[in-house]
Amino acid sequence: MTAISHRDRAVLRAVAAGRCQLSGRFLLVDGMGCCDQFVGPRLTEAGLISSDPGVASLTETGRALLEAA
């Protein structure tokens, strides 16, 4: 299983709730830039959230990781 931080897990929960958008490499949460500028690219590169611009969504791996917690 992929080890992730509490912050990463909170972002994954926000993505699962439909509160996030990807704008380029930046992740917006509730319409505001996430304070951790690296979280979007980090979770995308880990294969936990989709890399498509627009509303962010969990990948199957991201969903499984959240469900396992």
Per residue in 25-44, pLDDT tens?
Answer: 889 999 999 888 899 999 99
The pTM of this model reads 0.89
Range of 58's domain?
A: 6-68
**Separation of alpha carbons 1 and 38, rounded Å:** 21
In a domain, 62, yes or no: yes
Residue 1 near residue 36, CB atoms below 8 Å: no
In a domain, 61, yes or no: yes
In a domain, 52, yes or no: yes
Per residue in 7-29, pLDDT tens?
Answer: 999 999 999 999 999 988 889 99
Query: Quick one: which H or E segment has residue 12?
Result: helix 6-16
**Separation of alpha carbons 10 and 50, rounded Å:** 16
Tokens 């972002």 locate to 11
